[in-house]
Amino acid sequence: MPKTSPQHIVPRPPIVVIMGHIDHGKSSLLDYIRKSNIVAGEAGGITQHISAYEVEHHVERKPKDLVASNRITFLDTPGHEAFSKMRARGANVADIAVLVVSAEDGVKEQTKEALRSIKEAGIPYIVAINKIDKPNANIERTKQNLAENEIYLEGFGGDVPFVPISAKLGTGVSDLLDMMLLVAEMENLAGDTSLPAEGIVVESHIDTKRGTTATLIITNGTLKKGSFIVAEESMTPVRAIENFLGKQVPEATFSSPIQITGFDNIPAVGTTFRAYANKKDAEKAQLAICEARLKIKPVVSVRTIKLADDALVVPVILKSDVAGTLEALEKEICKIERERVQVKVVAMGVGTIGENDAKLATGSSNAIILGFHTKVERGAQDIAERFGVTIKTFDIIYELSAWLAEELDRRTPKVLGEEIVGTAKILKTFSIAKHKQVIGGKVLSGILEVGAQVKIMRREVEIGRGKIDGLQQQKLASKKVEEGNECGMMIEAKIEIAPGDILEAFVMNER
């Protein structure tokens, strides 16, 4: 590896991660920044994947020779709770975090989770108090709420910078970008352009036309055409470098988000990558990584819920358009726990739901194929219809988990269970004739009815079972006797009932 040369060390644009609760305005903020900083063509709505964007923010106070440091790379992390791993990875690759908090709602559970990720990453952060244009917005109350959650803002008992903004109207957004660059200056971010590129894989997927593609963030060095990239077990020659707008560039350097196509297999999201000058060096590095990973003992996950002996196992095949979403889907699915049904993810993959997925599912009558942001091939649909395989596709993760939970409830094997509907204490016995006993007692709880099955309990131990053939209350025949009343009973049972015994009337219910 080339030695670091002082003349090649230059200021590095900050990589900023936007974090916060699902509906506090993360996507709206990024949408506004993109539209107002010559970045167009990006879809709004609920964010489902990590994406990276680069913007240019012009600051009047900055001298022209430092214009390069006016660039900011944004790493967008999804807001939904299932993407906590992806959010944590986002914080780990970023230099600065922006914690978006609604001026209406204050701190929520995902706000706290985002803050934990930021603190674990050890990076500085800025609080953006959003939605100040709303009628119920209260900045001072929000500051107080933040302090209650150990987020101490400047001028409010701490040193965390904050900017009140309206992502919808754009109020304060320019000030927020100024603050990001100011924090970046204080961090003295720098990189060496003479080194081979290294960084983080932030997304990966299979493009049906182009092959395996990954979105990378360069954290140091320069990537050039003709070099080779290794990301753990994945490798690719660098034939073309695309920037975040999809335009080809001759080379890329630190803090730039780029797309590279041609990996031999899908690189895992969150893994580090390094560039090598030639294929021989890249293969040698790849081999060393694989050998090191073989020595690591796998972590065995343990389900804490105890499954019934007759539990139904439901095999699930997961398909998604990008690799980073698969682990989030698996995590969400594994949260669904039932005593008599177990979900087992038997296969995961990126791309459309194809014939091979459908054929794999036909191996079990209970299999389900779940797709996320992906389509179903006609051949796969035909096989599924022929063999009765369930295929469902979703665009929102919590709709997927809600449907699966309902489906598991529907598939849960029904069992008969005993429900106690009444108890009575035996006070006196009168006669026995051919297993039919006339006894007197008092109903302690619930109701006794003619025809009900009963358990005969003696000192809290069941000694036999019987049936109520008749009931009398105040010497009159009765179909039922309620709690608190004494009665006479005709019980059909092989066990001789004695004073002090307890009768438990029960019914069989399906559950």
Q: What is the pLDDT along the chain (511 residues), one digit of tens a residue?
A: 445 556 678 888 898 988 887 777 778 888 888 777 643 343 333 344 446 778 877 665 544 444 345 889 888 665 544 455 555 556 567 889 999 999 988 888 888 888 888 888 788 999 999 999 999 889 999 999 999 888 899 888 889 999 999 988 989 999 999 999 999 989 888 889 899 999 988 888 777 778 888 889 898 999 999 999 999 888 999 999 998 888 899 999 988 889 999 988 888 777 889 999 999 999 898 888 877 765 544 433 333 344 455 567 888 999 988 777 787 788 888 888 777 778 888 888 888 898 888 888 887 778 899 999 889 999 899 988 888 899 999 988 878 888 998 888 888 777 667 889 999 999 999 988 888 999 999 999 999 999 999 999 999 899 999 999 999 998 899 999 999 999 999 999 988 999 999 999 998 876 6
How far is residue 485's CA from residue 446's CA, in Å, rounded to a whole number?
11
Please name which of 361, 315, 313, 316 lies closest in space to residue 338, comparing C-alpha atoms: 313
* CATH code, 416-510: 2.40.30.10
How far is residue 344's CA from residue 312's CA, in Å, rounded to a whole number?
10
For domain 7-190, the CATH superfamily is P-loop containing nucleotide triphosphate hydrolases (3.40.50.300)
User: What is the predicted pLDDT for the residue at 270?
Assistant: 76
User: What is the predicted pLDDT for the residue at 296?
Assistant: 47
CATH 3.40.50.10050 domain locations along the chain: 312-411
Please name which of 284, 278, 349 lies closest in space to residue 317, comparing C-alpha atoms: 349
The matching CATH number, chosen from 2.40.30.10, 2.40.50.140, 2.130.10.10, 3.40.50.1370, for 198-294 is 2.40.30.10
Please name which of 122, 93, 111, 272 lies closest in space to residue 197, comparing C-alpha atoms: 272
- Residue 424 neighbours by CB under 8 Å, 6+ apart: 441, 442, 443, 444, 448, 487, 489, 502, 503, 505
SS3 content of the chain, % helix, strand, coil (to 5): 25, 40, 35
How far is residue 40's CA from residue 32's CA, in Å, rounded to a whole number?
10
User: What is the predicted pLDDT for the residue at 399?
Assistant: 86
* CATH code, 312-411: 3.40.50.10050
User: What is the predicted pLDDT for the residue at 326?
Assistant: 80
pTM of the model: 0.60
- Residue 384 neighbours by CB under 8 Å, 6+ apart: 358, 361, 369, 390, 391
CATH 2.40.30.10 domain locations along the chain: 198-294, 416-510
CATH 3.40.50.300 domain locations along the chain: 7-190
User: What is the predicted pLDDT for the residue at 157?
Assistant: 81
- Residue 92 neighbours by CB under 8 Å, 6+ apart: 121, 200, 270
User: What is the predicted pLDDT for the residue at 60?
Assistant: 55
- The H or E element that residue 334 is part of is helix 323-334
SS3 326: helix
